[in-house]
Amino acid sequence: MQGRETYILHVQDKVQAFTKKIALWSTKLKEGVIEMFPQLHQALLSSGADPGTISPLIQSHLAHLQGYFKEYFPDLEDNSNQNWIRNPFAPGVDGQYGPKKCRSINDSDICITGIPPGNFNLE
């Protein structure tokens, strides 16, 4: 997250996308889906173990991790006033210019900014 051509809004987007991925993983674990952890999924399939035995432990770890991120980056959720800097020519949902708000967290990187990273072509 450091180096040339790195700026604060891009890094904020990366951290916010990761916290949304943690929330998505936690939701999927509650539903019994473990495919987002390929090595764990493979180990459980090969051993025939029940995913329900380890799922609460992983959910607890993800909850702690999400709490730590909120502690270290408390103001990530309130950066909507800087959306016009990311893409000043994209109209938003309310008719104002700036990135559109997302409705789902299927792709966390696109969800944060409204556009794929590095793609500024408007349709």
The torsion angles phi and psi of 69, rounded to 5 degrees, stand at -65, -40
Residue 99 has pLDDT above 50, yes or no: no
pLDDT of residue 13: 84
pTM attached to this predicted model? 0.64
Radius of gyration of the chain (CA): 18
Query: If pLDDT is split at 50, 70 and 90, which confidence band does 100 have?
Result: very low
pLDDT of residue 87: 74
Query: If pLDDT is split at 50, 70 and 90, which confidence band does 24 have?
Result: very high
- Please state the length of the chain: 123
Q: What's the DSSP call for residue 119?
A: -
